């Protein structure tokens, strides 16, 4: 498991709508410049705003604002949700990191 667990980007989750709520953690199941799919143990509300901290293969991202869409419970009781990154500059930065990793798109000149 040591081999595989770290493959799915661990993510620190803070609740921007409710600072009193304790921060929690989960993983990104997938990631693209516009958003991600998130899996975590804690329940999260649809439309809520999260602040995410994670690394994309060495590039650290902190406080990425992510709006929750279509959260659902999987069979085990984990919450799986799509999140879309709200701020343009953060989308650009994540996109740049993803592109650097895959090198499969035109160079980003922005």
Partner 1 sequence: MAVLAVVAKDEEQRLTLKLALEELGHLVAAAKDLSGAMEIVSRQRPRLMIVAQAPSETVAESALAELEREAPLLPVIVAMTERKAARALDLLKAGAYEVVAPPWTAEHMAATVSKALRFKGTAFEASRPIEKKIGVGAYAALGLLLVAMAAGWGALERHRRLARESEVPVPPSEFALPYAHPAGLAYDGKRYWISDWFSQTIHRHDPNTFAVLRTRYLPQEVPGALAYAGDALYAAAAPRGIVKHLLDDRLSVLSWSRDAAPQTVGLAYDGLYLWSVDTKTKKIHKRIPDEGLSVIESYPYPGGVPTALTFDGRALWSLDWTNRELLRHDFKNPNRVTMRLPLDAYRGGRWKPTGLAFDGSRFVSTAEELPRGEGLGRVFIHEIPPEHLRAILTP
Residues in the interface with partner 1 (CB under 8 A) total 47
Please name every residue paired with 56 in a beta bridge, in sequence order, or none if there are none. 59
- Candidate segments 44-52, 61-69, 85-93, 94-102, binder of partner 1 by CB under 8 A: 94-102
Q: 10 to 69, contacts with partner 1 by CB under 8 A?
A: 10-13, 22-25, 27, 29-34, 36-37, 39, 41, 53, 55, 57
- Candidate segments 7-15, 44-52, 60-68, 85-93, binder of partner 1 by CB under 8 A: 7-15
Nearer Cβ to partner 1, position 16 or 29?
Answer: 29
Per-residue burial over 45-81, b if 16 or more Cβ lie within 10 Å, else e, is eeebbbbbbbebeeeebeebbbbbeebeeeeeeebbb
Rounded-to-integer distance, Cα 99 and Cα 13, Å = 24
Pairing of strands 49-56, 35-40: unpaired
List interacting residues with partner 1 (CB under 8 A): 1-8, 10-13, 22-25, 27, 29-34, 36-37, 39, 41, 53, 55, 57, 72-78, 80, 98, 100-107
């Amino acid at each position: 498991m040591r081999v595989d667990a770290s493959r799915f980007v661990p993510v620190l989750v803070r609740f921007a709508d409710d600072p009193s709520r304790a921060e929690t953690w989960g993983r990104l199941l997938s990631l693209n410049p516009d958003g991600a799919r998130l899996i975590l143990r804690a329940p999260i509300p649809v439309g809520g705003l999260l602040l995410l901290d994670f690394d994309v293969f060495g590039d650290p991202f902190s406080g990425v604002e992510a709006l929750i869409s279509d959260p659902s419970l999987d069979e085990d009781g984990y919450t799986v949700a799509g999140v879309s990154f709200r701020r343009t500059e953060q989308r650009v930065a994540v996109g740049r990191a993803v592109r650097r990793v895959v090198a499969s798109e035109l160079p980003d000149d922005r």
